[in-house]
Amino acid sequence: MKKVVLITGASSGMGKATAQLLAQQGYKVYAAARRTDKMNDLLPLGITPVQMDVTDDDSMVNGVQHIIAKEGKIGILVNNAGFGAYGAVEDMPLNEARYQLEVNVFGAARLAQLALPYMRSQRWGKIVNISSIGGKFALPLGGWYHASKFALEGLSDSLRNEVKQFGIDVIVIEPGGVQSEWGNIAVDNLLKVSGHSVYRPMADRFVAMGKAAAEKGVSPMVIARLVQKAITDAKPKTRYAAGYMADGMLFMNKVFSDKMMDGMVRSQFKVKL
pLDDT digits 0-9 by tens, 19-64: 999 999 999 999 999 999 999 999 999 999 999 999 999 999 999 9
Dihedral of alpha carbons 31, 34, 40, 41, sign = negative
The tens digit of pLDDT for each residue in 88-143 reads 999 999 999 999 999 999 999 999 999 999 999 999 999 999 999 999 999 999 99
Q: What is the per-residue pLDDT for 1? A: 55
Least confident window among 108-122, 145-159, 178-192? 178-192
- pLDDT at 4 > cutoff 70: yes
So which residues are the catalytic ones? 11, 131, 145, 149
Query: What is the rounded distance in angstroms from the CA atom of residue 26 to the CA atom of residue 75?
Result: 14
* Residue % of the chain over a pLDDT of 90: 90
CA atoms of 236 and 149, how far apart (whole Å): 21
Q: Is the pLDDT of residue 85 over 60?
A: yes
Least confident of 128-137, 210-219, 232-241, 254-263: 210-219
- How big is the CA angle at 187 (ends 184 and 189), to the nearest 5 degrees? 110
Q: What are phi and psi of 155, to 5 degrees?
A: -60, -45
Query: CB-based burial of residue 71 (10 Å sphere; 0-12 exposed, 13-18 middle, 19+ buried)?
Result: middle
pLDDT at 44: 97
**Superfamily grouping for domain 4-268:** NAD(P)-binding Rossmann-like Domain (3.40.50.720)
Q: Kindly indicate the confidence band of residue 234, based on its pLDDT and cuts at 50, 70 and 90.
A: very high
Return d(Cα 77, Cα 30) in angstroms, integer.
10
Residue type, 272: K
Residue 180 reports pLDDT greater than 90 = no
